Amino acid sequence: MANTYTLIASNTLSSSAASVTFSSIPSTYTDLVVKFSVRTTDNDTMLVGLNNVTTSFSSRVLEGNGASVASYSNSSSGRYIGYPIITTTSTFANGEIYIPSYTASQNKPFSAFTAAEANATTAYITAVADLWSNTNAINEVKFTTSTYSFVSGSSFWLYGIKNS
């Protein structure tokens, strides 16, 4: 039986970068998964853009920081996938986004999960329900932060999953 969970592309930064993009994603899979290990140059949120589009996103967030738990929503510009704020040297946050049926001609729900831990420094574990109200097949996934950059050593892995 064929392996159905395949690494499409990866990127480990050799210097700080404001964004990481996977483009020309083939349409031959059913679902997409991106796993990442990141640190940002200062406290920042992590965002995603699809097909070089940053509109028609909304999200619903559940997060905890070890002392409190909160839920909030983001409106049509809320392409939010987490709050992986770690500024501690050599410490990275981890996470993944899962995009099912990325080629289907329907609006795209996807999920995100990020986890950061930095000993005594406040850090967040975040789960996000995202919706991209766009029916186009996804051929590009771009990660950015709100203000700062991903540091050198931040890594991203894009996988494709086939259901047949």
Partner 1 sequence: MPATFDSIATTTLGSAASSITFSSIPGTYTDLRVVLVIPSVSGATDVIMQLNSDTGSNYSRTNLTGNGSSTASGQLTNQSSLRLSYGGPSTTLPNMTTVDFFSYSGSTNKTCLITTSDDANGSGFIMRAVGLWRSTSAISTIKLECNLANFNSGTTATLYGILKA
Instruction: By CB under 8 A, name the one of 25, 39, 48, 59 that touches partner 1.
Output: 59
Find all residues with CB under 8 Å of 127, minimum gap 6, and list them. 61, 62, 63, 111, 112, 113
Number of Cβ within a 10 Å radius of residue 98: 18
Report the nearest approach of partner 1 to the CB of residue 64 (Å).
Answer: 9
Q: Which of residues 79-108 bind partner 1 (CB under 8 A)?
A: 98, 100-101, 104, 106-108
Q: Does 109 bind partner 1 (CB under 8 A)?
A: yes
Q: Tokens in use for 54?
A: 């940053």
Part of the chain binding partner 1 (CB under 8 A), chosen from 13-21, 43-51, 67-75, 139-147:
67-75
* Residue 3 lies near partner 1 (rule: CB under 8 A): yes
User: Of the candidates 19, 23, 28, 76, which one interacts with partner 1 according to CB under 8 A?
Assistant: 76
21 binds partner 1 (CB under 8 A): no
Burial letters 37-68, b for 16+ CB under 10 A, else e: ebbbeeebbbbbbbbeeeeebbbebebeeeee
